[in-house]
């Protein structure tokens, strides 16, 4: 799925509230980081919110991140929400592999559960709907999806996932390292997913949501252990309930920590929604704060 070319200037959400509400109704918030995209003005503040479930792969940061505190293992239904569930194998009722669900080895089909909402990512479009769980039965309501066009294999994966992730499925959760989630459809198809802890799980809490404007260029910053260090230059910005900027932004300052899931492109300014986590008892040479990308809100070339 190719990124769209960026348009210069700040993205403005005014007049797009109705479209925003429609997109948000399709998909849940992401548990983890979102894919960074540069979008045309008409979608720049809409799609990032609706496509938050896309990010959830949480790639490692460019520089070492502080070691997260050990979180207690969630119990009961919370285990579904504590992990990103990435497809490892899928077998039809006749024993054959369901090849259509494996369009990309780099970005597997992924499920994210959050407050009764299911997000499906890894294909062409971003798919979402509501779910309930009763014991070993998972009930998924009719799913909705965005309408982007991609290569045929990714679109076929969307269709294969959509037909199997609806109605009643039998669920089995196996604790282990890593944990595994098995879903069996009414027709006997069996899907097995491997769990990868979300940022909330890894850092032992929900974290604080903040918006950071990241300048187009890094700046030189002093670090006792890293010579010639180049830091992101950031300032905090604020949004109101309608998604419009509110108040004055904070002062520009160097950010000594990298942001998990974010790859900075020189010359591109971004506003990011991130989760900020406090690290308990960090090593002497590590930061006491971790930042994890949730979504890109604005993007422009400078």
**What domains are there in the chain, each with its CATH number?**
17-69+202-301 (no CATH), 83-197 (2.40.128.270)
Please give the pLDDT value at position 156: 96
Residues of the chain falling short of pLDDT 50: 1-77
Q: What is the pTM of this model?
A: 0.68
Q: What are phi and psi of 268, to 5 degrees?
A: -115, 120
| Cα 88 from Cα 101, distance rounded (Å) | 10
Please give the pLDDT value at position 39: 40
DSSP β-bridge partners for residue 289: 278
Please choose, from the candidates 94, 124, 95, the residue with its C-alpha nearest in 3D space to the C-alpha of residue 109: 124
Please give the pLDDT value at position 103: 96
Please give the pLDDT value at position 57: 39
What sign does the dihedral 156-129-71-263 (CA atoms) show?
Answer: positive
Please give the pLDDT value at position 52: 37
Please give the pLDDT value at position 284: 82
Please give the pLDDT value at position 101: 98
Please give the pLDDT value at position 286: 85
The pairing of beta strand 259-260 with beta strand 289-301: parallel
């Amino acid at each position: 799925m190719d990124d769209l070319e960026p348009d210069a200037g700040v993205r403005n959400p005014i007049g797009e509230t109705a479209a925003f509400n429609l997109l948000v109704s399709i998909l849940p918030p992401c548990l983890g980081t979102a894919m960074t995209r540069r979008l045309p003005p008409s979608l720049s503040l809409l799609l990032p919110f609706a496509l938050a479930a896309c990010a959830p792969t949480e790639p490692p940061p460019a520089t070492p991140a502080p070691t997260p505190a050990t979180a207690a293992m969630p119990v009961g239904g919370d285990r579904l929400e504590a992990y990103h569930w990435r497809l490892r194998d899928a077998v039809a009722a006749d024993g054959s592999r369901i090849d259509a669900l494996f369009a990309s080895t780099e970005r597997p089909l992924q499920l994210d559960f959050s407050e009764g909402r299911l997000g499906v990512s890894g294909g062409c479009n971003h798919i979402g709907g509501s779910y309930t769980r009763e014991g070993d039965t998972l009930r998924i309501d009719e799913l909705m999806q965005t309408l982007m066009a991609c290569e045929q294999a990714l679109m076929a994966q969307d269709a294969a996932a959509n037909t199997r992730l609806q109605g009643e499925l039998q669920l089995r959760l196996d604790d282990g390292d890593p944990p595994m989630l098995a879903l069996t459809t009414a027709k006997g198809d069996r899907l097995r997913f491997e769990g990868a802890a979300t940022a909330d799980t890894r850092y032992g809490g929900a974290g604080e949501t903040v918006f950071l404007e990241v300048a187009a260029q890094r700046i030189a910053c002093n670090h006792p252990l890293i010579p010639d260090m180049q830091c992101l230059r950031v300032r905090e910005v604020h949004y109101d309930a309608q998604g419009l900027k509110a108040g004055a932004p904070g002062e520009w300052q160097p950010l000594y920590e990298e942001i998990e899931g974010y790859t900075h492109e020189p010359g591109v300014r971004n506003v990011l929604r991130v989760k900020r986590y406090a690290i308990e008892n960090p090593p002497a040479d590590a930061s006491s704060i971790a930042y994890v990308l949730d979504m890109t809100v604005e993007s422009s070339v400078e």
